[in-house]
Amino acid sequence: MNCRHLLDALSDYLDDQAAASVRADLEAHLAECRSCTVIVETSRRTLRIVTDVGSFEIPDELSQRLLKKTMAGLASARTGSGDPGTGNPESGGTESGS
Protein backbone atom coordinates (compact mmCIF):
# COMPACT_ATOMS: atom_id res chain seq x y z
CA MET A 1 0.00 0.00 0.00
CA ASN A 2 1.25 3.47 -0.81
CA CYS A 3 -0.21 6.96 -0.55
CA ARG A 4 -1.79 6.82 -4.01
CA HIS A 5 -3.59 3.56 -3.22
CA LEU A 6 -4.80 4.98 0.08
CA LEU A 7 -6.30 7.99 -1.71
CA ASP A 8 -7.98 5.68 -4.23
CA ALA A 9 -9.59 3.63 -1.44
CA LEU A 10 -10.25 6.48 1.01
CA SER A 11 -13.97 6.88 0.31
CA ASP A 12 -14.70 3.17 0.82
CA TYR A 13 -12.53 3.14 3.94
CA LEU A 14 -14.32 6.12 5.49
CA ASP A 15 -17.71 4.60 4.60
CA ASP A 16 -16.71 1.23 6.14
CA GLN A 17 -17.13 -0.37 2.71
CA ALA A 18 -13.52 -1.43 2.13
CA ALA A 19 -12.76 -5.16 2.01
CA ALA A 20 -11.10 -6.52 5.15
CA SER A 21 -7.79 -7.05 3.33
CA VAL A 22 -7.83 -3.50 1.94
CA ARG A 23 -8.70 -2.09 5.37
CA ALA A 24 -5.78 -4.02 6.93
CA ASP A 25 -3.38 -2.71 4.26
CA LEU A 26 -4.65 0.86 4.72
CA GLU A 27 -4.27 0.70 8.48
CA ALA A 28 -0.75 -0.72 8.17
CA HIS A 29 0.13 2.17 5.83
CA LEU A 30 -1.44 4.71 8.20
CA ALA A 31 0.72 3.37 11.04
CA GLU A 32 3.79 4.42 9.04
CA CYS A 33 2.69 7.49 7.07
CA ARG A 34 1.94 10.70 8.94
CA SER A 35 0.79 12.51 5.77
CA CYS A 36 -1.91 9.95 5.04
CA THR A 37 -2.93 9.84 8.71
CA VAL A 38 -3.52 13.59 8.58
CA ILE A 39 -5.57 13.20 5.39
CA VAL A 40 -7.76 10.48 6.92
CA GLU A 41 -8.26 12.36 10.20
CA THR A 42 -9.06 15.61 8.40
CA SER A 43 -11.48 13.83 6.07
CA ARG A 44 -13.26 12.24 9.03
CA ARG A 45 -13.56 15.61 10.81
CA THR A 46 -14.80 17.28 7.64
CA LEU A 47 -17.44 14.61 7.11
CA ARG A 48 -18.54 14.96 10.72
CA ILE A 49 -18.87 18.74 10.37
CA VAL A 50 -20.77 18.52 7.09
CA THR A 51 -23.16 15.83 8.28
CA ASP A 52 -23.80 17.63 11.58
CA VAL A 53 -24.57 20.92 9.87
CA GLY A 54 -26.81 19.53 7.14
CA SER A 55 -27.05 21.05 3.72
CA PHE A 56 -26.47 24.71 3.01
CA GLU A 57 -26.05 26.97 0.03
CA ILE A 58 -22.81 28.73 -0.83
CA PRO A 59 -22.53 31.65 -3.24
CA ASP A 60 -22.01 30.66 -6.88
CA GLU A 61 -18.74 32.60 -7.09
CA LEU A 62 -17.28 30.68 -4.14
CA SER A 63 -18.56 27.40 -5.54
CA GLN A 64 -16.87 28.07 -8.88
CA ARG A 65 -13.57 29.04 -7.22
CA LEU A 66 -13.60 25.89 -5.07
CA LEU A 67 -14.41 23.70 -8.06
CA LYS A 68 -11.65 25.28 -10.16
CA LYS A 69 -9.07 24.84 -7.37
CA THR A 70 -10.16 21.25 -6.73
CA MET A 71 -10.00 20.32 -10.40
CA ALA A 72 -6.54 21.93 -10.72
CA GLY A 73 -5.34 19.89 -7.73
CA LEU A 74 -6.73 16.68 -9.21
CA ALA A 75 -5.09 17.41 -12.56
CA SER A 76 -1.79 18.05 -10.80
CA ALA A 77 -2.09 14.75 -8.91
CA ARG A 78 -2.83 12.84 -12.12
CA THR A 79 0.25 14.22 -13.84
CA GLY A 80 2.40 13.13 -10.91
CA SER A 81 3.63 16.58 -10.07
CA GLY A 82 3.53 15.85 -6.34
CA ASP A 83 6.85 16.39 -4.57
CA PRO A 84 8.02 13.57 -2.29
CA GLY A 85 10.23 16.02 -0.41
CA THR A 86 7.22 17.97 0.82
CA GLY A 87 5.29 15.06 2.29
CA ASN A 88 2.75 15.50 -0.51
CA PRO A 89 0.81 12.22 -0.76
CA GLU A 90 0.17 12.85 -4.45
CA SER A 91 3.76 11.72 -5.05
CA GLY A 92 2.99 8.11 -4.13
CA GLY A 93 5.71 8.01 -1.46
CA THR A 94 5.57 8.13 2.30
CA GLU A 95 7.43 10.18 4.81
CA SER A 96 9.57 7.18 5.67
CA GLY A 97 10.64 6.95 2.03
CA SER A 98 8.84 3.70 1.25
pLDDT in tens, 51-61: 877 667 889 99
The residue with greater pLDDT, 24 or 56, is: 24
Dihedral angle at the C-alpha atoms of 7, 43, 13, 81, nearest 10 degrees? 0
**For residue 58, what pLDDT is reported?**
84
Answer whether residue 29 shows pLDDT above 70. Answer: yes
Q: State the average pLDDT over residues 33-54.
A: 88
Q: State the average pLDDT over residues 5-11.
A: 92
**For residue 19, what pLDDT is reported?**
95
User: Is residue 92 a contact partner of residue 30, using CB atoms and an 8 Å limit?
Assistant: no
**For residue 83, what pLDDT is reported?**
44
pTM across the whole model: 0.53
